[in-house]
A and B are shown apart, each in its own frame.
Chain A
Amino acid sequence: MEKDDLMLEQLANREYEFGFVTAIDMEISEIGLNEDTVRFISAKKNEPQWLLDWRMKGFKAFQKQEMPAWQNFKMPEIDFQSISYYAAPKQQAKYASLDEVDPELLRTFEKLGIPMSEQKQLAGVAVDVVFDSVSVTTTYKKHLNELGIIFCSISDAVKDHPELIQKYLGSVVPHTDNVFASLNTAVFSDGSFVYIPKGVRCPMELSTYFRINAENTGQFERTLIIADEDSYVSYLEGCTAPMRDENQLHAAVVELIAMKGAEIKYSTVQNWYPGDKEGKGGIFNFVTKRGACRGERSKISWTQVETGSAITWKYPSIILQGDYSSGEFYSVAVTNNMQIADTGTKIHHIGANTKSRIISKGISAGQGQNSYRGLVQMGPRAAYARNFTQCDSLLIGDRCGAHTFPYIESKNNTATIEHEATTSKIGEDQVFYLNQRGIDAEQAIALIVNGYAKDVLNQLPMEFAVEAQKLLSLTLEGSVG
């Protein structure tokens, strides 16, 4: 149809807002990957022997593993030998106050809209910024310390809290899990660590902002969040990357552990560079995220808004071990131009009376391909476990694709699994109706898309929900004539 053609044409003109490069002296390791690379990284970070040993185990597992082949797109050739695995700003890595930070770096943060300023701190956001591979500064640490909350870079946690790291790192995502998780184990550079002590309710949203800056560097951050008994934490990660012609690899691992009665809410707003309209460049976002509800009545909730990356390959999953534990997965994934998203979740119901809820909203425009892939597994002990899955797809234009791959396994006949799925197209009628009330096509699409994604956006913390709404509108800007 004529209108669709117009949509598509305009879609192609949408540009990436965060595509600037920061000129800062970087210390970058030689490209290539071998045991020496792993040793180099570990030595740079003055790590203890046990951690180097673990990295080496990860590296050996990585060498044995095949690239996954089950996803709904052709896995691109990734030359792991042409990547540099370590990049750090060539300065002292820690600053006592923001005044000491390179102003150029601060300007970058400003452009990114990272809430690092004093005002934002007062607004109750504590931010751990990972700029390429080294965590630059952690704000608000002191206040959190008073509550016994640990919020720091994973490197600091290795030094200051080795007992927690040794006990929990790799306990949810083992070093053998998959090729990207193994690679991450071997070369992870930095990331965030959170520990919430028993009975403490974290009084603010904790947030990390990731950004890939240097060319040819992969980003391999590692996040570990432990919520001890009856504690609560809400955590948000946001991601952006500058515009580059070549693809950059991002292979992160996130592990969540919720003890008895604890709750972890983990939200992601992912806006990596998606590549240009021909599909050149962009981030390969191959991420392993998993949470374990270890104790009774524990709860883990993943919310993700995925608008960026050339390819997104991620399945934040939840292991419901404790009886009466519950898991939630809320997702909005947008693919525009040549973007590919193969994303969803895995929920393993192990304990009795566990319950889970999956709401997935895919949006495809341009020639984007969007797949939902989900596994719901009811184990033999999962008596009276319940799952509800709702999986919707929205199409804009007629050259994009939406696909769903739901898998269900039940070994307990008292468990119930519900699955609902819909596919719809943004109708010309809807757009015209809004036009006729004075609303232009762009804003009409934004309204319709945000309405469609509302159930998921509502799960985000307030201020990030607003940001995510803007991002959705921006990503689809120009998608109609």
Chain B
Amino acid sequence: MLSIKNLHANIEGKEILKGINLEVKAGEVHAIMGPNGSGKSSLASVLAGRENYEVTEGEVWLDGKNLLDMKPEVRAREGVFLAFQYPVEIPGVSNINFLRTALSEIRTHRNLPQLSAKEFLKMTKEKQALVEFEAKLANRSLNQGFSGGEKKRNEVFQLAMLEPKLSILDETDSGLDIDALRIVSNGINKLRSADNAFVLITHYQRLLEYIVPDFVHVLYNGQIVRSGTKELALELEEKGYDWLKEEFHGNAPVKNI
């Protein structure tokens, strides 16, 4: 489904991704871990098409289409969903109106008929139940006045509504208490299917106890330095990242990373 080949990217002239290679197949869940500043969120941003990143080398393909040629909204309509680490607030724009607009754009792009107001509301109710997100959405502005946890859960709810092929969750677990983490994870597990794929960006192994990944990758200094199965996450939990850093730098002392 997703094929990343030798991806290099800069932000403000500084190289931040230094040759990423990653293959994600339909039905798979990949976890990307790594210390702060290793490029995890940058990878998510580049895949979603954030403008201040400049891709200098490499290719990204989504089901045979060149992702890097597409505007951010086209990537979204093609089925790339980014659950934001810090979802923005948009005053005065109701959650429902926003979702209706988004869904309508996506369905138009996918040549699907538009939903009637009734169908849309029915779908909203079902998906809210699925991800256990009870918030009253109709009269509330997008993310405004939401707690940190509610914002994250709203991201997962949107994911459920928009039914993407590839979902990238950028530290969706951060800032969640243990109950919220369980609810969010349950939601994602229910959304997993043979037709979609998930890339989970996380600092902590904790999330992976709830959402069991097929593969775990460690991103360090703009490259994937190690890949493995869920056991790798446990190893990282136990030993931290320093041993990998040392290995990467050929046992040279590591400073200020």
Contacts and interface: CB of A to CB of B under 8 A. Distances in A.
Interface in A410-469: 427-430, 432-441, 443, 447-448, 450-455
Contact of A438 (B84, B87, B90, B162): B162
Interface stretch (B60-68, B70-78, B182-190): B70-78
B109 interface: yes
B88 A429 contact: yes
A432 B72 contact: yes
Given A436-B82, A438-B73, A447 B88 contact: no
Given A435-B49, A437-B98, A452 B91 contact: yes
Nearest to A435: B72
A428 B51 contact: yes
B224 interface: no
Contacts of B48: 432, 436
A439 B105 contact: yes
Given A448-B93, A451-B141, A438 B106 contact: yes
Give the size category of B's interface with A: 20 to 34
A435 B92 contact: no
Interface residues of A, number: 25
B76 A436 contact: yes
B73 A435 contact: yes
A107 interface: no
A94 interface: no
A5 B101 CA distance: 27
A414 B93 CA distance: 38
Given A450-B92, A451-B91, A438 B76 contact: yes
B151 to A, nearest CB: 11
A439 B101 contact: yes
Contact of A440 (B52, B73, B93): B73
A452 B92 contact: yes
Interface in B89-129: 90-94, 97-98, 101-103, 105-106, 109
Interface in B117-148: 141-142
A430 B92 CA distance: 13
A429 B87 CA distance: 9
B90 A430 contact: yes
A2 interface: yes
B202 interface: no
Interface in A89-112: none
A280 interface: no
Contacts of B71: 435, 440
Given A2-B51, A432-B51, A437-B162, A453 B76 contact: no
B51 to A, nearest CB: 6
A143 interface: no
B158 interface: yes
A-B complex: 9 closest residue pairs judged by Cβ atoms: A451-B92, A451-B93, A435-B72, A437-B102, A438-B76, A438-B105, A454-B92, A438-B106, A435-B73
Given A435-B72, A437-B98, A437-B102, 14 more contacts: A428-B52, A430-B88, A435-B71, A435-B73, A436-B48, A436-B76, A438-B76, A439-B73, A443-B105, A447-B90, A447-B97, A447-B101, A451-B91, A451-B93
